[in-house]
Amino acid sequence: MKIVLASDHAGFPLKKEVIGALKEIKASFEDLGCHSENSVDYPDFASQVARKVSAGEAERGILLCGTGVGMAITANKFKGVRAAAIGDLFTAKASREHNDLNVLCLGGRVVKPVVAREIVKTFLQTPFAGGRHEKRVEKIKKIEDKNCP
């Protein structure tokens, strides 16, 4: 599975933990920046990751900013992207099983490193449950087609 990830300055320290977790599970990933704690603008990084997921060039994206919120708002502007800021393991699992989440957003100022590592593994290793959830995700796609042609 191809994974793309990026952060702004506020997410950069936690991104190092996330990269550690990705290496631990031998995931194939590409880091699209940023590369320091110098101030940058999160929409520039969210759009790089979301564009690749939207285009099918990557199956999953991971984005980190201070709260995860700005990244999620930006990523959700791209067709086919289902992004959310996640801070606990229950939501990490449910968002894969129920919502087929394809872009995980983490708050570097909120989520503890040990929790972030587990969230990342859960995000990558939990399959979409399909069934009754399938038709709901299909409804999201229809809403997107109608409102964002």
Shorter beta-carbon distance to ligand RB5: residue 39 or 147? 39
x/- contact string, 22-61, with ligand RB5 (CB under 6 A)? --------------------x-------------------
Is 8 a binder of ligand RB5 (CB under 6 A)? yes
Active site residue 105: no
Q: Are 128 and 33 in contact (CB under 8 A)?
A: no
Name the residue nearer to ligand RB5 (CB basis): 3 or 65: 65
DSSP labels for 27-73?
A: -EEEE----SSS---HHHHHHHHHHHHHTTS-SEEEEEESSSHHHHH
Of 80, 104, 97, give the one whose Cα is nearest residue 5.
104
Residue 2 Cβ, how far from ligand RB5 at the closest point, in Å?
25
Q: Cα separation of 47 and 41, whole Å? A: 11
Active-site choice (65, 105, 133, 148): 65
Q: Please tell me whether residue 104 adopts helix, strand or coil conformation.
A: strand
* Least distance CB 111 / ligand RB5 (angstroms): 12
- Using CB under 6 A as the binding rule, whether residue 10 contacts ligand RB5 is answered as yes
Catalytic residue, chosen from 35, 98, 105, 133, is 98
**Residue 98 annotated among the catalytic residues of the structure:** yes
Identify the residue whose tokens are 């229950």.
90
Q: Check binding of 94 to ligand RB5 (CB under 6 A).
A: no
Q: Give dist(CA 94, CA 84) in Å, integer.
A: 12
Taking the complex as a whole, the smallest distance from the CB of residue 67 to ligand RB5 amounts, in Å, to 4
Q: Would you state the structure tokens that stand for residue 146, as one six-digit string? A: 């109608």
Binding site for ligand RB5 (CB under 6 A): 8, 10, 42, 65-67, 69-70
